[in-house]
A and B are shown apart, each in its own frame.
Chain A
Amino acid sequence: KAGVTQTPRYLIKTRGQQVTLSCSPISGHRSVSWYQQTPGQGLQFLFEYFSETQRNKGNFPGRFSGRQFSNSRSEMNVSTLELGDSALYLCASSLGQGAGRATEAFFGQGTRLTVV
């Protein structure tokens, strides 16, 4: 089956602009999570969506937002970009069956965002 698809793979934006990243999860997966990966901070959790609802949120400013559509596809948006937002943004999808054992997360290849 098709894996997790993230688009675009690479982006270059100017400070102050906004950006939207897209993630298409594996068919049948209802949970989509987003992570930011930087050399200095490592992998940090941004938020998780399950059945179109944000279920958990990391410690990021309000400039970072997301949403999930009825087909489980997800987008994340970063407004008023800062140089420090340059990172690899990873999306992970999982079955997300709710309470109980967390299910296996499958990651996309990521979107490399560079802010200049």
Chain B
Amino acid sequence: GNSVTQMEGPVTLSEEAFLTINCTYTATGYPSLFWYVQYPGEGLQLLLKATKADDKGSNKGFEATYRKETTSFHLEKGSVQVSDSAVYFCALTSNFGNEKLTFGTGTRLTIIP
């Protein structure tokens, strides 16, 4: 079945540091890949997505590239801010006629001023 392996946290960085959160996946066919973010007391918000190999998703300074050869979708940001502190989830859908999302375990990110 499908699975997502995500870098364990928590991750603590200083403001303006470079961020990488690793994500690799196992799936049949050609999944769509997503990064979701969850702020305290909130549901999940879509941060970015990529639907085919070599696509780059980007939003709010975050980027991730769909790498089929390494089955990876690592999240990066060049300069993090305190407001980026949240839990980040990597996820995929199999695109086999349903909307089921398979999530990684989540990475808690804390940015220190």
Contacts and interface: CB of A to CB of B under 8 A. Distances in A.
29 contacts: A4-B43, A6-B43, A33-B100, A33-B101, A42-B105, A42-B106, A43-B89, A45-B102, A48-B99, A48-B100, A50-B98, A50-B99, A55-B98, A55-B99, A56-B100, A58-B100, A92-B99, A92-B101, A94-B99, A96-B99, A99-B96, A99-B97, A103-B99, A105-B99, A105-B101, A107-B36, A107-B43, A107-B44, A109-B43
Contacts of B32: 101-102
Interface residues of B, number: 25
Contacts of B41: 109
Contacts, number: 67
Contacts of B17: none
Contacts of A108: 43
B46 A104 contact: yes
